Chain A
Amino acid sequence: AAGVIQSPRHLIKEKRETATLKCYPIPRHDTVYWYQQGPGQDPQFLISFYEKMQSDKGSIPDRFSAQQFSDYHSELNMSSLELGDSALYFCASSLRGFEAFFGQGTRLTVV
């Protein structure tokens, strides 16, 4: 069965650079969520989209933005990167909010 695909899997950026993370949800899923997970921490909600419209917003810095495109893939754009942005970033998708499935994540390292 198709799963949530994230790219890239690993990303190394320098401070003040920009990063773009991509997420391809499970086909026919209408909701996409983005989460950030620091070492030893639980996933923290960043933002979500329902049918390509932003539906909920969490503790997402103003330096970050996200959108969902007509083909339902989503991108998380992160600018002016800081050392504290180093984390695992997960995307999840669901159909009408049931059974949210997560991707394998992007490990972002800011040096």
Chain B
Amino acid sequence: EDQVTQSPEALRLQEGESSSLNCSYTVSGLRGLFWYRQDPGKGPEFLFTLYSAGEEKEKERLKATLTKKESFLHITAPKPEDSATYLCAVQARGGTSYGKLTFGQGTILTVHP
């Protein structure tokens, strides 16, 4: 069964204090690893999909990287508006349809001014 574990569960940063969120996964053949941002009561907002080890993607202050066992979401010089829950999800290969995303529990990020 596919499993995703995110750490830490919660992270408090000062504005401008860079850090990283971790997503460890086990999956029977990774098709894609997804990162989302979710604000309270809202739908997950798509950030990145990574498909192969060594791949990196960037968007503003966020950079996602992927290895064979884990992914990191690096946040550079965060701002208070980056405060949210960050979710990681994996999608397994296989079949002719495009399978479900299995989510981790998320990391609650709080950035203080």
Contact = CB atoms under 8 A, between A and B. Distances in A.
Interface of A: 4, 31, 33, 41-45, 48, 50, 53, 55-56, 58, 88, 90, 92, 94, 96-105, 107
B41 A98 contact: no
B97 A100 contact: no
B42, B43, B95, most chain A CB atoms within 10 A: B43
A43 B44 contact: yes
Given A97-B32, A104-B42, A107-B41, A56 B100 contact: yes
B100 A48 contact: yes
B106 A48 contact: no
8 contacts: A31-B97, A48-B98, A55-B97, A55-B99, A90-B43, A94-B98, A97-B98, A102-B45
B93 to A, nearest CB: 10
Residues of A contacting B: mostly: strand
Nearest to B104: A42
Given A42-B105, A45-B101, A56-B100, A100 B46 contact: yes
Interface in B27-44: 31-32, 34, 36, 41-44
Contacts of A104: 42-43
A99 B100 contact: no
A105 B39 CA distance: 12
A41 B44 CA distance: 13
Contacts of B76: none
B62 to A, nearest CB: 16
Given A98-B32, A99-B49, A105 B98 contact: no
